[in-house]
Structure 1
Amino acid sequence: MSRRSFGILLIIPLAFSLSGCASLLFYPDQTMRLTPKTLGLEYEDVNLTTPDGVKLHGWFLSAQNEPRGTIFFLHGNAENISTHIHSVAWLPGQGYQVFLLDYRGYGLSEGSPDLPDVLTDVATGFRWLLSEPRVADRDLYLLGQSLGATLGAYFVGANPEARARLSAIVLDAPFASYRELTREKLALFPVTWPLQYPLSLLMPDDYSPIKNIAKLSPLPLLIICSETDDIVPARHSAALFEAAGEPKALWITRGPHIGTFGQENNRRRVLTFLEEYKRNASPAVGAPTTRTK
């Protein structure tokens, strides 16, 4: 078989799969590798049901000492909360409660992930937080990483109630457009490079955060990206930052994709941001773009 024929055989099924290609964004894993107890964290299981009848699972991590606020954490597109917990396991020790949610199809959550269904999952988790007495009258923040940042940004932009209740939103390695990221990935391979534009047009883009991130304002926004990220290029964060309203900040770091909180200096800076934007604080509007090495 010629190389050209082999390439065509690869492209044809890819093109057909992209006709429902939003599902290609998700790489769920049902295996739970640990619990918060393994990490010495106090927690409880949270079981929710979406309006369309899908049962979801999450963990609510208790803060050590008096809670300073609550973090709604949305993880990336692979594995589940039992691996992504490492990104936020340090927060309870700093006085923050954390709610980690698995989207449908991930971990112990039922169903199969797709867009816009996972946005329903995010909304279900947020509604639970609003009804939770331990969260009431305390600052509430959304922290998303990669796909979770992308989902969270769109969700908050589309929901006035979320914007009104949140104290701030933190996006770590978001991508601005599902369609643009698809095109970039297709451009990496010689076989798919010639079809990067027509195939990427099959990717739904209606729920990309570049569409509505301007609506987040005046909710404080922090975008974090790594200039050495080889999964989601930093230009996606730059595009979102440019489109967003004030107050906003863009932090440019170095390191692997969603490796931000493996670095102590990044942890300290995020804590400072959360404290700055407590509802009773007087934040400095229009924080500048900064670079962390």
Structure 2
Amino acid sequence: MKITMTVLLLFVFQFVNAQFEDKFYYPKKEWKEIKTPFSEDFISVEKDTIHTAFFQPKTPPKATILFFHGAGGNISTYMYMIKPMIANGYQVYAVDFRGYGKSTGKSTHKNVQEDVIIVFNKMKENKDMKGTKLIVLGASLGCQIATNFTKNHQEEVDALILDGGFSSFADVAKLYAPKPAHTYIESVLGEVYPSKEEIKAIKNLPKLIIHGKVDKTIPISHAQIVFKNAQEPKTFFTSEKGHLEAFSQETKKIFKEIDKLLTVE
């Protein structure tokens, strides 16, 4: 009876944990037409395929941006952020994790963390990446991935940008859950690469944290926690706009800050 109960509890835990993951990833398969020229790659991961898109400016790039988008949509729906990067002289390597856009499979916290390493190693094979500085940029949910990746690859990253991120998966889940459930949520999600903790281990490279003052999706307090925990050098840019709107609506101000990242020693 004791063994049966243990098995049942394990099953319930795995089921509930899976339900939590389903609340974070909202992949969109529909691919919008992209008129900006780009090259693409399809990377094998286990039985699935990850699609990436590489955009280049018309002039020699200032740096390479490795871009991890948010929980919904796919690369094609984030062109409003990508196009200003290209226009301001940055080449962009954008990633659709499993299930997003032309990628197959289903994203989980675990496989995203593993897949990003495979994607990065593939990216480094591109001759156009060689000799350029690398900026890792996360948008919304992508901030968790960007922070975790940068923490583990500090010697290969030159700067980190977090736009519209949350402090941890647990913290954002608690925004929408009744208070009695908070302890359980923390026990399930608290250790899933929380950016508010992982940022502490990122040392000398410059960090730019962006958040909208009127962001109705993720409260600005989440970004403020991450910023407080980050080591110098660091900059906080308070956007006057909403969630992930700074790149498209405050472009000059944003790229003034991004360009500064390349001069920090």
Count residues with an aligned counterpart. 252
* Aligned amino acid, residue 183 of structure 1: K
- 1:257 positional shift: 1.0
Whole-Å Cα distance in 1 between the matches of residues 88 and 47 of structure 2? 36
Deviations along 1:229-281, one digit per CA (max 9) or x if unpaired, are 11111111111111111101111122221111121xx3223322333232xx3
Partner residue in 2 for 1:253: 239
Q: Secondary structure at the match of 2:257?
A: helix
The 8 Å contact of residues 45 and 57 in structure 1, kept in 2 or not, is answered as yes
Whole-Å Cα distance in 2 between the matches of residues 194 and 243 of structure 1? 25
Q: Secondary structure at the match of 1:224?
A: strand
Matched, 1:273 2:264: no
The 8 Å contact of residues 212 and 242 in structure 2, kept in 1 or not, is answered as yes
Partner residue in 2 for 1:79: 73
Q: Secondary structure at the match of 2:176?
A: helix
Deviations along 1:203-237, one digit per CA (max 9) or x if unpaired, are 42221112221111111101011121111111111
Evaluate the alpha carbon distance shift between residue 147 and residue 194 of structure 1 in structure 2; reply closer, same or farther with a 3 A threshold: closer
Partner residue in 2 for 1:123: 117
Q: Secondary structure at the match of 2:112?
A: helix
Partner residue in 2 for 1:170: 161
* Aligned amino acid, residue 245 of structure 1: Q
The 8 Å contact of residues 184 and 196 in structure 1, kept in 2 or not, is answered as no
Matched, 1:183 2:174: yes
Partner residue in 1 for 2:40: 45
Instruction: Output the TM-score relative to the length of structure 1.
Output: 0.80
* Aligned amino acid, residue 28 of structure 1: P
Q: Secondary structure at the match of 1:131?
A: coil
Partner residue in 1 for 2:227: 241
The 8 Å contact of residues 70 and 98 in structure 1, kept in 2 or not, is answered as yes
* Aligned amino acid, residue 168 of structure 1: A
Partner residue in 2 for 1:291: none
5+ residue gaps, structure 2: 1-12
Partner residue in 2 for 1:204: 189
Deviations along 1:30-61, one digit per CA (max 9) or x if unpaired, are 111222x2xxx2211111123x3421001101
The 8 Å contact of residues 213 and 220 in structure 2, kept in 1 or not, is answered as yes
Partner residue in 2 for 1:232: 218
Partner residue in 2 for 1:30: 29
- 1:17 positional shift: 5.9
* Aligned amino acid, residue 225 of structure 1: H
5+ residue gaps, structure 1: 1-14, 187-192, 286-293
The 8 Å contact of residues 208 and 258 in structure 2, kept in 1 or not, is answered as no
The 8 Å contact of residues 182 and 203 in structure 1, kept in 2 or not, is answered as no
Give RMSD over aligned pairs.
Answer: 2.0
Matched, 1:144 2:129: no
Whole-Å Cα distance in 1 between the matches of residues 79 and 136 of structure 2? 15
Partner residue in 2 for 1:7: none
Q: Secondary structure at the match of 2:131?
A: coil
The 8 Å contact of residues 22 and 204 in structure 1, kept in 2 or not, is answered as no
Whole-Å Cα distance in 2 between the matches of residues 93 and 254 of structure 1? 22
Partner residue in 2 for 1:290: none
Whole-Å Cα distance in 2 between the matches of residues 132 and 24 of structure 1? 34
